[in-house]
Chains A and B, each alone.
Chain A
Amino acid sequence: MSTFTDPYASSRETTEGRVYSVTGGDWDSLSTEIGATKEERVVVNMGPQHPSTHGVLRLVLELEGETVTETRCGVGYLHTGIEKNTEYRSWTQGVTFVTRMDYLAPLFNETAYCLGVEKLLGITNDVTERATVIRVMMMEFNRISSHMVALGTGALELGALSPMIFAFREREKVLDIFEMVAGLRMNMAYVRPGGVAQDLPAGALSKIKETIKELRKNFKDNEKLLIGNSIWIKRTQGIGYLDLAGCTTLGITGPVLRSTGLPWDLRKAQPYCGYEDYQFDIPTTDTCDVYGRFLIRMQELEQSLRIIEQCVSKLEKLDGQPVMVADKKIAWPSQLSIGGDGMGNSLNHIREIMGESMEALIHHFKLVTEGFRVPAGQVYTTVESPRGEMGVHLISDGGTRPYRVHFREPSFNNLQATAAMCDGGQIADVIAAVASIDPVMGGVDR
């Protein structure tokens, strides 16, 4: 046994046994010492700063050789108190907070929240069809961009680099659409209570049609790289097994649930935003493994494109319809137009409130500083996010700010399946299993 003074790789005796610290990836200086111990049982702390744990997820793995005997998850490293913060802002300002939770699916956070506020206000049916179709279109684009990260980083973590390059190429095209429509590429606060922040810019639909064509062509590249790839199949088939009984008791939703063969998708089961008017399928597999979940995500891309195409043809017919409810006491007073800096003001609106109508000025001031009142009560609204059931529990006391906002985050709930999927398997398969849950830590910790 050597006595070394490497500051990045040291070991010390504790009550729990000998603890080895490797901070610089410097295993060489420790390997001899670890090799000399007779103990097979090792507890490895993986994360929260580990490139393959999908952000700041901490996994505590108990190992016998390379077999995982116990998995524990540590979360909370990204807790930002979004739920508490929204209690101190107006209902409209809440959108800006909730969009930052699950940062890969901001539009789902916003839409779920706004559907809840609208239900509390009792204006669900007053939201214009154009606003609803735009929401659906943006959500489905968001599903594509989110699945692209899930597939790309999932493959990357298992050592396949090329799919990641292709996936991010496609994601970039979707983010360009977001930038064109909402002005921002992520955290766009685009969906607002009562509608959406602004209408589609001129020429948006033709750009979207072009993008659909490119995406459909490019998705094939990723399919060719992974479907049927023997290394990929060996790394994913039969890995991370979780059957239907496991899913229901753990409250698992989304692709993980659908990989057990159950076609449970809230877009079909409990439609919102008019999803009952769209033609699309719910892809399922019955393998209960990582490969099945990967196939489901792949097939959902095509289904999302189908929905977007139907949105485009609907939007062409709905040209000129407003994108915000008619009630001026709820609708955000001005339709902001995008300037060179990303966001701008509506000059017409400023002319009206500053020069023509004092009433309009008062309304603008009250709505912006105070916000609107929401009748007392509580609601629970859901949308099918890329990761499963995104639920929003809102309580109002009748005031201009939420009394309580709680998010039922699919990532948070689904991450509970980690131990069920990983225990008894190989340590290398932990990575595949966690990647197939696709947790986003911003959503887990909120």
Chain B
Amino acid sequence: MSNDSSNGMFGVSGSGDTSGFGGLIKSVKNIGSTERPYGGYFDQVADDLERAFPAFNDAIEKVVVDRGELTLFVKRERLFEVAKILRDQLRYEMCISVSGAHYPAEVGRELHVIIALLSITNNQRIRLEVCVPDSDPHLTSLVELWAGANWQERETYDMFGIIFDNHPGLTRILMPDDWDGFPQRKDYPLGGIPIEYKGATVPAPSERRSYQ
């Protein structure tokens, strides 16, 4: 989707075609990096992290503040170090969620791992995002820091094929053990069968037209 196509009432511009149908092409707008001040407690978090972690600028690719949420894009080699400092010095006691996202258009950074951390002491949340290439989908596991990341990482592996190194038992968790492929990737079809209704057929959800 080009940036200007989301203008107008129903996202149509520069075309007489008001159906909005644009084939099945999907791409995501890249939200740029945010400059200081970030607002709220985010500046404090960034300051504390910079103080505790001298290699901040090397480890953090960019900082994004959007809709009142702070996301730190961390280089994958440095993830474990950053997470350990966040846990031990910034008091992020809980690794609330680990999940993934697949952006096939971002060449070399196709797979994203999104980690939500919660600090009960400071009542704060931050999000870490790590990008790994599809050709080498490796990442350090955080189970050593938070035991609760165990199943979350297994689910992310199961759904996206991201391999968490040093994980105590990285196996499929929701899909059957002998399943082929990683269902949440964008190139994995949803499947489904056409539905017959009053003599006509409605195509399966993944075959239906997509509005841009």
Residues of A at the B interface (CB closer than 8 Å) are 75-76, 79, 81, 83-85, 87-89, 119-120, 122, 248-252, 262, 264, 269-270, 329, 366, 370-371, 373, 375-380, 389, 391, 393, 395, 397-401, 403-404, 406, 408, 412-413, 415-416, 445-446
Q: Give the distance to chain A from B185, nearest Cβ to Cβ, in Å.
A: 10
A89 neighbours in B (Cβ, 8 Å): 205
| Cross-chain contact B66 with A248 (CB below 8 angstroms) | no
Contact A401 B176 (CB under 8 A): no
* Residues on the B chain within 8 Å of A399, using CB: 1, 11, 26, 210-212
Q: Is the CB of B183 within 8 A of A251?
A: no
Given pairs A391-B96, A408-B97, 12 additional interface contacts (CB within 8 A) = A76-B172, A76-B174, A88-B208, A251-B152, A264-B120, A270-B123, A378-B66, A403-B28, A404-B101, A408-B116, A413-B152, A416-B151
Please measure, in the bound complex, the distance between the C-alpha atom of A87 and the C-alpha atom of B28, giving whole angstroms. Answer: 14
Q: Does B27 contact A (CB under 8 A)?
A: yes
The residues in B between 114 and 163 inclusive whose CB is less than 8 angstroms from any CB of A are 114, 116, 118, 120, 123, 125, 127, 146-152, 155, 159
Contact A408 B96 (CB under 8 A): yes
Q: Contact: B99 with A406, CB < 8 Å?
A: yes
The 23 sampled A-B contact pairs (Cβ below 8 Å) are: A84-B190, A85-B205, A87-B190, A88-B205, A119-B67, A120-B67, A251-B96, A251-B148, A262-B120, A376-B31, A377-B66, A378-B71, A380-B127, A391-B97, A393-B97, A393-B116, A398-B1, A399-B11, A401-B210, A403-B28, A406-B97, A408-B116, A413-B96
Contacts of B183 in A (CB 8 A): 81, 84
In the assembled complex, the CB of B41 is this many whole angstroms from the nearest CB of chain A, namely 12
By the criterion CB–CB under 8 Å, are B211 and A400 in contact? yes
Which of A75, A76, A120, A416 sits near B148, CB closer than 8 Å? Answer: A416
CA distance A88 to B93 in the complex (A): 36
Task: Judge whether B184 and A83 touch: CB under 8 Å.
Answer: yes
Question: Would A79 and B67 count as touching, CB distance under 8 A?
Answer: no
B175 within 8 A of A: yes
A371 to B1, CA, bound (A): 17
Q: How near does chain A come to B71, taking the closest CB pair, in angstroms?
A: 8
Do residues A379 and B1 form an inter-chain contact, with CB atoms below 8 A? no
- Interface pair A88/B206, CB less than 8 Å apart: yes
Contact with A along B1-23 (1 / 0, CB 8 A): 10000100111000000001000
Let me know if B9 and A75 touch, CB within 8 A.
Answer: no
Residues in A with CB closer than 8 Å to B71 are 378
Contact A393 to B96, CB < 8 A, known contacts A380-B125, A400-B211, A413-B148: no
Instruction: Collect the chain B residues with CB atoms within 8 Å of residue A366's CB.
Output: 10, 20
156-212 of chain B: CB within 8 A of chain A: 159, 172-176, 183-184, 190, 205-206, 208, 210-212
Identify the B interface with A (CB < 8 A). Answer: 1, 6, 9-11, 20, 26-29, 31, 66-67, 69, 71, 93-97, 99, 101-102, 114, 116, 118, 120, 123, 125, 127, 146-152, 155, 159, 172-176, 183-184, 190, 205-206, 208, 210-212
Cβ-defined contact, A380 with B69, below 8 A: yes
Whether the pair B184, A84 counts as a contact (CB closer than 8 A) is: yes
B147 lies within 8 A of A250 (CB): yes
Chain B hits for A87, CB < 8 A: 190
Given contacts A81-B183, A89-B205, A413-B148, contact A389 B114 (CB under 8 A): no
Specify the chain A residue showing the minimal Cβ separation from B102: A404
7 tightest CB-CB pairs across the interface, nearest first?
A: A251-B148, A408-B97, A406-B99, A397-B28, A88-B205, A76-B174, A250-B148
Q: Nearest Cβ distance between residue B133 and chain A, in whole angstroms?
A: 19
Point out the residue from A79, A404, A415 that lies within 8 Å of B174, measured CB to CB.
Answer: A79
In-complex Cβ contact of A397 among B1, B146, B147, B190 (8 A): B1
Contact between B148 and A88, CB atoms less than 8 A apart: no
Chain A neighbourhood of B66, CB < 8 A: 377-378
Provide the bound-state CA to CA distance between A395 and B159, in Å.
16
Please indicate the chain B residues that have their CB under 8 angstroms from the CB of A393 in the complex: 97, 99, 114, 116
Chain A residue contacts of B6, Cβ below 8 A: 373, 375, 398
Smallest beta-carbon distance A90→chain B, Å: 9
Query: Which A-chain residue is minimally distant from B116 (CB atoms)?
Result: A380
Give bound CA distance, A403 to B29, whole Å: 11
Chain B residues, Cβ within 8 Å of A398: 1, 6, 28-29
Q: Which residues of A contact B205 (CB under 8 A)?
A: 85, 88-89
Query: In the complex the two chains form, what is the Cα distance from A373 to B1 in whole Å?
Result: 12
A139 to B93 CA separation, bound complex (whole angstroms)? 28
Q: Which residues of B contact A371 (CB under 8 A)?
A: 211
